[in-house]
Structures are given as C-alpha cells and as structure tokens.
Amino acid sequence: MAITTNIKLDTAELRALVSKLQANRAAYAISRGLNDAIRQGRTEALKQLTNRYNIARYELTGRNLLRMTSARSSNLSASIFADAKRSVSISKFRGLKGDGLKVSRKRSKLEKGKINTYLKKGRKFQNSVTRSKPRQAVSFEIVKGKRQTLKSGFIAQMKSGHVGVFSRSRSSRGYVGGSFQYREGKGSRTKQDGNDTPIAEHYTFTLHKAMANRYTRAPIDKRMVAAAPRRVSYWLNKELNRK
C-alpha cells in the first residue's frame, strides 16, 4: 500500500521560471529539485525511525529496507521506498539480553565471537531445536525506553551468521499486534497446537508500517513539502543563469 504526500509545485513563481526555459532544461532542473527534496525526506525518515526505535541507522540502510528512486528529465517522479514485505527481526534492535547474555552489535558483525546458544552440546541448529534448561526469558527494547520480555525464549545463531530470537509460537511470526503469541510449556498446549507447537523466530513490523504511523509520517511530510518548491526554484534559477 502506497503512502503519498501532496506537494504543490504549480505556483506562479515556478511557472514564470519554467516559461523562460526550454522544455528539456526545465525538466532537468525540476528533476534535480525533486531529488534534493526526496533525499531530505529519506534523511528525516532515518532520523525519526532511529529516534523512536532502538535500532541503528545502518540496520535500515544496509539491508535496503529504506531506499529511494530518483526523478529523471523523462520521468518527474521521485519516491522513498520502505520495505513492506520483510519484517524486522527482534535481534536487529539494541539491548537484546537473555540469561545474562547481552548481544553487542557493531555494524553487521558481532563484537564478541560466537553467541552462546541454548542448545545441547554437539547438536546443530535444525528446524527442530532442543535447548538446555532452565528456560530463561529474553528481553529487548524495540521502542526506546520500553523494555519487553519474551518468556521461554532463547537466542540462537544460524550457520549463516544470522542471530535470532526463538520460542515455540502459535504464530509463524510470533509477534502479533504488539504482543507475543507463544506457548510457555507442554502444560499450556491447546487443541490448535496439535502434537506440539513449532519453533519460530520472532519478528516485529515492516519498515513500511513503522513509517506510516503518526510518529514518523508527519515530520517526513513536513520536511519534503517545505524542501521541494525551494529546491526546484533553486535549480530553475541555476539553469536560467547558466551560460
């Protein structure tokens, strides 16, 4: 689902500038102005997301969750793309702790060797996992200042190097509507669990959803609405003054 922002560029001042230029030169200047505005929007989006959520900027840009498409003279359309398909793993947020274990992340690499997994010695991580006892809670901070706890969860590192938070969950994603759907133990089985509840990695929300909420959307819109006419005017004047 697209998120659109209406920006008024059809003003008397801009029309007057465009009328003094050849069509191709005017289109070039407008595309440059739109690209400046969309870059400012992307910068503001990263600022708002990292201010609210306990996640590093590089986790958003390095995985291409937030990117932009530029305008061209032949296509005067620029946009910010926020991924609506890939949910962000809990392990991408700072402050992940479990059984006295704290995961520190620097860039995309772990600072301290391999993470201890709660698996029996000698067993490799497969689709079904047996973890050692006692069961411990995993805690984390998605929204800054709001620590959450996942009971009977554990942290594991895959062969690929990916670190995740897992538990037996009634949902393939585990995290639904801001709360966890999980089974604490065998005694809490329900008919819908069948013989057992599968182990699932817990994810949170998509970046598209995070950008569309009331906390981040308004500042992004405000910055782009203010920047677009100003930057388009700048590039039109620059073209007029070009020899």
Q: Are both 169 and 80 inside the same structural domain?
A: no
Q: Are both 102 and 136 inside the same structural domain?
A: yes
Which has the closest alpha carbon to 56: 83, 95, 111?
95
- Stretch 50-71: mean pLDDT: 88
The reply to whether 175 falls in a domain is yes
Q: Is 144 exposed, middle or buried (0-12, 13-18, 19+ CB in 10 A)?
A: middle
pLDDT in tens, 142-184: 999 988 887 777 888 777 777 888 877 655 444 545 455 555 4
Residue tagged 């398909």 (tokens): 85
The reply to whether 2 falls in a domain is no
Task: Say which amino acid occupies 113.
Answer: G
The reply to whether 136 falls in a domain is yes
How much is the pTM? 0.71
Q: Domain total for the chain?
A: 2
Q: Are both 110 and 78 inside the same structural domain?
A: no
Alpha-carbon distances of 219 from 1, 56, 83, 138, 144, rounded to whole Å: 20, 19, 19, 33, 18
Name residues whose C-beta falls within 8 Å of residue 217's C-beta, 6 or more positions apart in sequence: 3, 211
Name the pLDDT band for 231 (thresholds 50, 70, 90). Answer: very high
